[in-house]
Structure 1
Amino acid sequence: MLGNVLDNACLWARSTVRVDVRGDAGPLLIMVADDGPGIAAEQRQAVLTRGVRLDEATPGSGLGLAIVADLVAMYGGTMALDTAALGGLQVTLSLPASP
């Protein structure tokens, strides 16, 4: 999961990718943010669909984020796509803490 999200962030970032991890109490939160072009709010749900790519000029299959979303759901977690403070995309993975 993290490998795919980081790969996407590095592909689209202009110069900066930031990773924050929190897990003191409650779920494990992994936030990956970049300073790239981001994804418009109205297109964020679409990129979680297998085979959907917003930029056909760059290499890729359009499977990565969809697979990450499926894996996160299998573990009982959530995945959110938002605008990062850096200006690009922020992907937040929230995974339940181990019992």
Structure 2
Amino acid sequence: MLGNLLDNAGQWARTRVRVTLREAGGELEIAVEDDGPGMPPEARELATARFGRLDEAAAGSGLGLVIATEIAAMYEGSLTLATSPLGGLSARLRLPAGLP
């Protein structure tokens, strides 16, 4: 999951990717943020749907965010997309802190 998020951030960032990890309320939260062009709110749902590619010219299959979302759900976690304080996209992966 993290590999997919880092790959996307690295592909779209202009100059900066920031990764943070925190534990709160029995959850681990990994945030991957970049300073790239970002993603409009209406496109975020499409980006996590199978074959919901937003840029056909970009490299990749369009499955990275879908795979990360589905695996997170298998572990009773979630992946949310938002606007990063850096100006680009923020992907927040939340997982239960007590995973085996």
Q: TM-score range by the shorter chain?
A: over 0.9
Question: Could you list the runs of 5+ residues in structure 1 that have no partner in the other structure?
Answer: none
Aligned partners of 1:28 and 1:12: how far apart in 2? 25
Aligned partners of 1:24 and 1:81: how far apart in 2? 19
Q: 1:93 corresponds to which residue?
A: 93
Aligned residue pair count: 99
Is 1:55 paired with 2:75? no
Question: Could you list the runs of 5+ residues in structure 2 that have no partner in the other structure?
Answer: none
Q: CA deviation at 1:18?
A: 0.1
Q: 1:39 corresponds to which residue?
A: 39
Tell me the secondary structure at the aligned position of residue 66 of structure 2: helix
Tell me the secondary structure at the aligned position of residue 73 of structure 2: helix
Deviations 1:11-45 (A, max 9, x none): 00000000000026520000000000111001100
Matches within 5 A, 1:1-99: 1-23=1-23, 25-98=25-98
Deviations 1:27-84 (A, max 9, x none): 0000000000111001100110111111111111111100100000000001110000
Tell me the secondary structure at the aligned position of residue 56 of structure 1: coil
Aligned partners of 2:8 and 2:78: how far apart in 1? 18
If the length of structure 2 is used for normalisation, what is the TM-score?
0.95
If the length of structure 1 is used for normalisation, what is the TM-score?
0.96
- Equivalent pairs: percent with the same residue? 54
Amino acid at match of 2:26: G
Aligned partners of 1:52 and 1:62: how far apart in 2? 6
Aligned partners of 2:78 and 2:24: how far apart in 1? 18
The answer to whether the Cα contact below 8 Å between 2:20 and 2:32 also exists between their aligned partners in 1 is yes
Aligned partners of 2:45 and 2:52: how far apart in 1? 10
Tell me the secondary structure at the aligned position of residue 56 of structure 2: coil
